[in-house]
Amino acid sequence: MKVLMFGWEFPPHISGGLGTACYGLTKGLAGLKNIDVLFVVPKMFGDEDQSIIKLKGANTVPVSKTQIEFEGTQKKMETIEIKSDIVPYLSEEDFWELKKKRFPAKTRFIQTDNGFKINFSGKYGDGLIEEIKNYALVAELIATENTFDVIHSHDWLTYPAGIAAKNKTGKPLIIHVHATEFDRSGGNINPVVYSIEREGMEMADKIIAVSNLTRNTIIEKYYIPPEKIEIVYNAVDSSPRKHNLNFRKNENEKIVTFLGRITMQKGPEYFVEAAYLVLKKMENVRFVMAGSGDKMTTMIKRVAELGIADKFHFTGFLKEDAVAEMFRLSDVCVMPSVSEPFGIVPLEAMQAGVPVIISNQSGVSEILDHAIKIDFWDTYAMADSIYGLLKYPSMSKHLKKAGKIEAGKMKWDNSAQQVSKIYRDVLIKSNVKV
Amino acid sequence: MKSIALFFQVHQPFRYRRYRFFDIGNDHYYYDDYANETILRKVAETSYLPANELLLKLAGELEGKFKVAFSVTGTALDQFQLYAPEVIESFQQLAKTGCVEFLSETYSHSLSALKDKTIFEQEVKQHEQKIFELFGQKPKVFRNTEMIYSDEIGDCVAKMGYKAMLTEGARHVLGWKSPNFLYVNAANPRLKVFMRNYKLSDDISFRFSNSNWSEYPLTAEKFIGWLTQLNRKEEVVNLFLNYESLGGRQPKESGIFNFFEHLARGIVKHPELKFATPAEVLAEVQPVSVISVPHPISWADEERDLTAWLGNEMQKEAFEKLYEMSPRMGRCTDEELRKDWNYLQVSDHFYYMSTKLFSSGEVHSYFNPFESPYEAFLNYMNVLSDFQIRLNSMFPKNEQEQEIAALHKIINEKDEKITKLEKQLTRLQKPRTRKKTTKKKK
């Protein structure tokens, strides 16, 4: 069975939650014997050109074809990169780094974090929609030139591409919802994005949601029949992260970490308030907010206002090895997300042996037993849990051990297996139809 | 003739309110009065009261041939007195029929037997006293919290003057032996041991209304049939149920009360079966052999061990920290502290912290007011921390604390003195101003 997959960012240029999920799942699928993946991504960084093929057609879109080999599997996966004018980036830092390189004037940079939040009011304008349409056109060409059995699209930017491929070939389309406009915007819905999402969902033969939370959003906000939506939970890559940076940690001091973008969706303000409550009662503890985002200055102001700036630190965006180092230093990791379709960070923390506190408003809370769960707005409960984890050693000890085991069980191979079953079901169903 | 010894456990824990760490040292009230009252009123109305009424009717109509034993914890009795005194009255009426025997146990349904003999004895004595005050009986048979039993605990109980003890007829302890005989303790043969027949007991308390069960529906005739099919030589069948099974876990609509009434009448009518209180069994039945239980057993889960209460690190830490205080509590006479100390020991708190919840969830979650064991642990430890502070101020642990306690005492005394003097001052000032005004008028 061959899958035409429309993805987004891809290593070596590592990305946020969606990129990680996309990569993990594809790697898992590549490990399965009967599945071949043809991976299509918008060309990102321009430093891996090997054999550029020009596709004939309406657009003279340069496309690069490479083969990617996964560790541990013998198969090679074909990857097609489309030289699109969309350049995804993850953080402010990434953005500046990219800006330093040369890009054509019309290149659009899109912040992709977990969810491609796009500000249409600004200079991007409708041009982005045009780009997405162009991307869909190329997708159509790729679809005609290759053979495959199913189409798999990840999140809304690639839905039009998926739809185009489906219309051209009549092959079944599966869309994978990692986040919806409701998660990204916090209720301030962009109608264009919403309509693209909804069209994708309606055209799809099957929808994969990353959690029950997301599934419910799709049913309630997009009016999709429940039987069309399957849940496949994300997982965590078990490759051990190396950390060479050797910060020495003060043994008598505890560190509580918030790791993620500092945006409304992630609920950073609740973490600050909880920190204030804990610091009223405890001396030897520091709070760290690792990440960047549009709410960062507000948070810094609030911290100063509360008078806890000597115990509350901001690190800015952390690169992968720094993240591993941060986990090593942390005694507790908190994810107070207001709306989180899944949330991979807690799984990574657990794998690194850090006890986690997560909000009930996250998809990952549906599958975790060995995590402390609170409502994101309940700063008293959050503070109480932090205090307890630092003060009563047995709970932290238990969570470290049990959490590591639990996170270890969440393998991409399992998710991939579920996805391949969905492929099979869809194929059987469409054959019957024909 | 086979004796059927019927036992009911009546227990209610005092549930704690959400006690956050901000409250430590500031607020010494730990209880969720609303939850305690509503839960107790509900259980009383759906289960305890109608069940007592039924038993009272049976005791009267069956002319004293219906017998039953109760194991009522001190914390349950305390709650009845607070929220449902009519339940105590109905138990008192039952006690008057002479068909009812009360068992002894730890006052607060605690795990003290596993840790501290002095505390254990104190608790048992306190419970015995309460039973005597309310029902005028001095218990002869002992039932430990959650049926926890070992040779050592049995020996300890025997030394306190009890003639027999009841425990779980755990398969790994009995082996090929049958629970339907009387046994003796391995360390102290003077103590007789009743073994609970868990299969027949659970058929009523857990499986009765389960329509997926192969024996569903369970009728009184079927159950009596099972009793008569047992080996003729077997002498006593110990049925030990949670009293809430009648009307609570098995709701009234399932027909549990009708079943029970028919069962009782059927057993009394049957030529080979009869009811007997534990004391009667002791008088009539001879023990057949020694039962050796070197490691403590309980009636919980498949394993019948202690892991439901002391299985993970959190439970162990909480347990250790609690009983660290026992030597000082031994000297404490403060009524409030003693009451809180009793309720801190209730085994349910440890049960809520069990991480087995995730695997054998159903039974555990049925009784659990917390959403996760972690929440339960946090709450308990916060309460315990506050309790430690209070105890420390009364019985300081070391010199520094002693000094702090002394200073606190002085501050409090001075505070009192100041308020007293202030009052005096205002009292003295009032008439003076009046005098002045009168003077001016003149």
Q: What is the pLDDT of residues A176-218, one digit of tens each?
A: 999 888 887 767 788 888 999 999 999 999 999 999 999 999 9
The count of CB pairs under 8 A between chains A and B is 62
Residue B262 pLDDT more than 50?
A: yes
Q: Specify if A295 maps to a domain.
A: yes
Say how far apart CA A82 and CA A65 lie, in whole Å: 9
Sheet harboring A332-335: ordered strands across?
A312-316, A285-290, A254-259, A332-335, A356-359, A372-374
Residue among A252, A394, A406, A275 nearest A334 (CA): A275
Strands A285-290, A206-209: pairing is: unpaired
Q: Is the dihedral of CA A414, A113, A273, A375 positive or negative?
A: negative
Q: C-alpha angle with apex A329: A328 to A333, nearest 5 degrees? A: 85
Which position has the higher pLDDT, A248 or B409? B409
- Predicted pLDDT at B302: 85
Say how far apart CA A163 and CA A158 lie, in whole Å: 9
Active-site residue, from B101, B105, B128, B146: B146
Q: Is the same domain home to A202 and A348? A: no
Which position has the higher pLDDT, A110 or B198? B198
Q: Is the same domain home to A219 and A354? A: no
Span of A37-51, A395-409, B407-421 with lowest mean pLDDT: A37-51
Best mutation site among B313, B353, B388 for testing chain A: the one with the most A CBs within 10 Å? B313
Cis before A11 (ω within 30): no
Closest residue to B381, CB basis, from A281, A380, A392 = A392
Q: Specify if A391 maps to a domain.
A: yes
Residue bearing tokens 């509360």: A306
Quote the number of domains for chain A: 2
Q: Using a CB-CB distance cutoff of 8 angstroms, which residues of chain B are in contact with residue A395?
A: 313-314, 317, 374, 377-378
pLDDT tens profile B169-212: 999 999 999 999 999 999 999 999 999 999 999 999 999 999 99
ipTM over 0.90? The verdict is: no
Residue bearing tokens 């549930």: B15
Q: Is the same domain home to A427 and A317? A: no
Residue A99 pLDDT more than 80?
A: no
Strands A52-54, A62-69: pairing is: antiparallel
Domain residues for the domain of A17 are: 2-235+412-433
Q: Using a CB-CB distance cutoff of 8 angstroms, which residues of chain A are in contact with residue B20?
A: 380-381, 383-384
Q: Is the same domain home to A383 and A428? A: no
Say how far apart CA B217 and CA B209 lie, in whole Å: 7
Name the class of domain B2-291: alpha beta
pLDDT tens profile B2-21: 999 999 999 999 999 999 99
Q: Which residues contact A251 (CB under 8 A, 6 or more apart)?
A: none
Q: Is the same domain home to A404 and A422? A: no
Q: Specify if A59 maps to a domain.
A: yes
Q: Is the same domain home to A160 and A293? A: no
Q: Specify if A70 maps to a domain.
A: yes
Say how far apart CA B325 and CA B98 lie, in whole Å: 41
- Domain range summary for chain B, segments of one domain joined by +: 2-291
pLDDT tens profile B40-81: 999 999 999 999 999 999 999 998 899 999 999 999 999 999
Cβ proximity of A340 and A371 under 8 Å = no
- Predicted pLDDT at A60: 39
Which amino acid, one-letter code, is at A138?
V
Q: Specify if A195 maps to a domain.
A: yes
Q: Is the same domain home to A142 and A272? A: no
Q: Specify if A226 maps to a domain.
A: yes
Task: Say how far residue A162 (Cα) sits from the centre of its chain.
Answer: 19
Question: How many CB atoms are located within 10 Å of the residue A103 CB?
Answer: 13
Residue B435 pLDDT more than 60?
A: no
Residue bearing tokens 């941060």: A326
Cis before A12 (ω within 30): yes
- pLDDT interval class at A113 (50, 70, 90): very low
Q: Specify if A69 maps to a domain.
A: yes
Q: Is the same domain home to A292 and A335? A: yes
Q: Specify if A248 maps to a domain.
A: no
Cβ proximity of B348 and B14 under 8 Å = no
Residue B339 phi, psi dihedral angles, 5° rounding: -65, -50
CA distance B407 to chain A (A): 22
Q: Is the same domain home to A333 and A263? A: yes
Q: Is the same domain home to A139 and A204? A: yes
pLDDT tens profile A309-331: 999 999 988 877 788 888 989 99
Q: Is the same domain home to A199 and A264? A: no
Cβ proximity of A179 and A8 under 8 Å = no
CATH for A270:
3.40.50.2000
Q: Locate the chain B residue with the closest alpha carbon to A355.
A: B374
Say how far apart CA B131 and CA B125 lie, in whole Å: 10
Closest residue to A394, CB basis, from B20, B314, B382 = B314
Q: Is the same domain home to A219 and A353? A: no
* B146 is annotated as an active-site residue: yes
Best mutation site among A373, A389, A398, A399 for testing chain B: the one with the most B CBs within 10 Å? A398
Q: Locate the chain B residue with the closest alpha carbon to A398.
A: B313
Whole-Å CA distances, A183 to A223, A334, A343: 16, 19, 12
Taking every pair of Cα atoms in chain A, the longest distance, rounded to a whole number of angstroms, is: 70
